[in-house]
């Protein structure tokens, strides 16, 4: 099962990062988004990242241009009609993902592997929207994609060994470390990370300590590179809430109940760094 041509759906923070690492590894990449402005923003991010590598002597200007030349623009999902792999990095919403996968199942060749970068949604449920569930798999990249080495590879109920092996080998070609994970809500990373963030929010909510103190305890006491409240701001509080709701619904356990303060901030539009304000101010 040879992978040469890849479509990445979604030119946002995750999608543009995935497209960059695939293009750097020599794959032919089609970067797809619904609107020109989103595609342009994604390419600007990739170009900025590569230019920084040139400035730091990690690559030459010629190598940078070679990476950019591996990326082709797409504003139509129909352009997936001759790819070997699709990596979907659209919004974290089951209905939207199932709609995309249903279309991809009809558009792509029979051999094409359909992967999702979901951070918490069940792979088996996404695969059920297709007639090829054995060729559907999860590839959960970490943010920022060009820097972080881990990729959680999640098997759905029907994912074949052949497809898993192909994705594992392809992940290694990207210079990443693949880790096999079974299809449970939140997988491994977010099943552990999000309850920790949620507990930090409860600690603030209950007045145990200030946000700065909570983050300092985890940074200096537990050697975390970033405090949990600052990390939540960088992830997006709406994303944190959504994943906690997935965990709460999926396991039916009260320990995954989202903190009321998290709900309040999201309702206020305080989503973290992307909105200019979360637990901290970024204006």
Region class of 230: left (phi > 0), else alpha (psi between -120 and 50), else beta: alpha
Q: Is residue 227 part of an annotated ligand binding site?
A: no
Query: What is the rounded CA–CA span in Å between residue 48 and residue 146?
Result: 12
Asked about 198 being catalytic, the answer comes back as no
The residue annotated as part of the active site, out of 140, 160, 198, 275, is 140
Q: What are phi and psi of 87, to 5 degrees?
A: -115, 110
b/e string for 89-115 if b means 16 or more Cβ within 10 A?
Answer: bbebeeeebbebbebbbebbeeebbbb
Query: What is the rounded CA–CA span in Å between residue 52 and residue 47?
Result: 9
Q: Is residue 119 part of an annotated ligand binding site?
A: yes
- How many beta carbons lie within 10 A of that of residue 213, not counting itself? 13
Asked about 35 being catalytic, the answer comes back as no
The residue annotated as part of the active site, out of 16, 32, 74, 119, is 119
Asked about 245 being catalytic, the answer comes back as no
The residue annotated as part of the active site, out of 16, 152, 160, 275, is 152
Q: Is residue 59 part of an annotated ligand binding site?
A: no
Q: Is residue 15 part of an annotated ligand binding site?
A: yes
Q: Is residue 33 part of an annotated ligand binding site?
A: yes
Asked about 140 being catalytic, the answer comes back as yes
Q: Is residue 269 part of an annotated ligand binding site?
A: no
Q: Is residue 143 part of an annotated ligand binding site?
A: yes
The residue annotated as part of the active site, out of 32, 74, 190, 198, is 190
Q: Is residue 57 part of an annotated ligand binding site?
A: no
Query: What is the rounded CA–CA span in Å between residue 14 and residue 23?
Result: 14
Q: Is residue 70 part of an annotated ligand binding site?
A: no
What residues act catalytically? 119, 140, 152, 190
Q: What residue numbers does the annotated binding site for NAD(+) cover?
A: 10-15, 33, 92, 97, 119, 143, 274
- Annotation: binding site: 10-15, 33, 92, 97, 119, 143, 274
């Amino acid at each position: 099962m040879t992978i040469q041509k890849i479509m990445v759906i979604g030119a946002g923070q995750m999608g543009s990062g995935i497209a960059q690492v695939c293009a750097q590894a020599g794959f032919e990449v089609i970067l797809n988004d619904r609107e020109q402005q989103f595609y342009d923003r994604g390419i600007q991010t990739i170009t900025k990242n590569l230019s920084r590598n040139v400035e730091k002597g990690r690559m030459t200007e010629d190598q940078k241009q070679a990476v950019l030349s591996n990326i082709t623009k797409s504003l139509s999902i129909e352009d997936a009609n001759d790819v070997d792999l699709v990596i979907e990095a659209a919004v974290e919403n089951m209905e939207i993902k199932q709609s995309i996968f249903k279309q991809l199942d009809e558009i792509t060749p029979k051999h094409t592997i359909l992967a999702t970068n979901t951070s918490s949604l069940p792979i088996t449920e996404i695969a059920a929207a297709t007639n090829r569930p054995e060729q559907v798999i999860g590839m959960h990249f970490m943010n920022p994609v060009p820097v972080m080495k881990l990729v959680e590879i999640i098997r759905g109920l029907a994912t074949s060994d052949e497809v898993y092996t192909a994705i594992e080998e392809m992940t290694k070609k990207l210079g990443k470390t693949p880790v096999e994970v079974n299809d449970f809500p939140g997988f491994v990373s977010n099943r552990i990370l999000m309850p920790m963030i949620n507990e930090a929010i409860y600690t603030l909510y209950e007045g145990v300590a200030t946000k700065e103190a909570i983050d300092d305890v985890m940074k200096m006491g537990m050697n975390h590179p970033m405090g949990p409240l600052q990390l939540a701001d960088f992830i997006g509080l709406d994303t944190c809430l959504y994943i906690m709701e997935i965990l709460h619904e999926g396991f039916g356990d009260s320990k995954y109940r989202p903190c009321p303060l998290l709900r309040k901030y999201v309702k206020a539009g305080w989503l973290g760094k992307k909105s200019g304000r979360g637990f901290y101010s970024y204006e």
